[in-house]
Amino acid sequence: MKKVELLSPAGDLERLKIACIYGADAIYIGGKNYSLRANANNFSIEEIKEACSFAHNMGKKVYLTLNIVFHNKDIDGVYDYIKEVVDAGIDAFIVSDLFLVKYIKSNFKVEVHLSTQLSISNKESVNLLKNMGIDRVVLAREVNRNDIKEIIDETNMDIEVFIHGAMCTFVSGRCVLSNYFTNRDSNRGGCAQICRFCFDINNDEDFSMAVKDLNMAEYIKDMMEIGIKSFKIEGRMRSPFYLAVVLSSYRRIIDAVNNNSLNDDIIKKEIKILSKVSNRENSTHFYMKEADINDQYYLGRGEPSNQDYLGIILNKENDLYVIRQRNYFKLGDKIEIITPNMDIIEVVVDNLYDENNNKIEVANQADSVIKIKFSENIPLFSMIRKPYL
Query: Is the per-residue pLDDT at 297 higher than 70?
Result: yes
Query: Is the per-residue pLDDT at 354 higher than 80?
Result: yes
Instruction: Tell me what the pLDDT averaged over the chain comes to.
Output: 91
pLDDT digit string, tens, across residues 331-353: 999 999 999 999 999 999 999 99
Please tell me whether the overall predicted TM-score, pTM, comes out greater than 0.85 for this model.
yes
What residues pair up with 322 in beta bridges, in sequence order?
315, 371
Of 175 and 241, which is predicted with more confidence?
A: 241
Query: Is the per-residue pLDDT at 357 higher than 80?
Result: yes
Q: For residue 280, what pLDDT band results from cuts at 50, 70 and 90?
A: confident
| 264: phi then psi, degrees, rounded to nearest 5 | -65, -35
Domains and CATH numbers, the chain: 5-295 (3.20.20.70), 309-385 (2.40.30.10)
pLDDT digit string, tens, across residues 216-256: 999 999 999 999 999 999 988 889 999 999 999 999 999 99
Q: For residue 124, what pLDDT band results from cuts at 50, 70 and 90?
A: very high
Residues 6+ apart with CB under 8 A from 264: none
pLDDT digit string, tens, across residues 187-227: 666 777 777 787 777 766 777 778 888 999 999 999 999 99
Q: For residue 4, what pLDDT band results from cuts at 50, 70 and 90?
A: very high
- For residues 270-284, average pLDDT: 88
pLDDT digit string, tens, across residues 67-121: 888 889 989 999 999 999 999 999 999 999 999 999 999 999 999 999 998 999 9
Query: Is the per-residue pLDDT at 40 higher than 60?
Result: no
Query: Is the per-residue pLDDT at 270 higher than 70?
Result: yes
- For residues 168-183, average pLDDT: 76
Q: For residue 26, what pLDDT band results from cuts at 50, 70 and 90?
A: very high
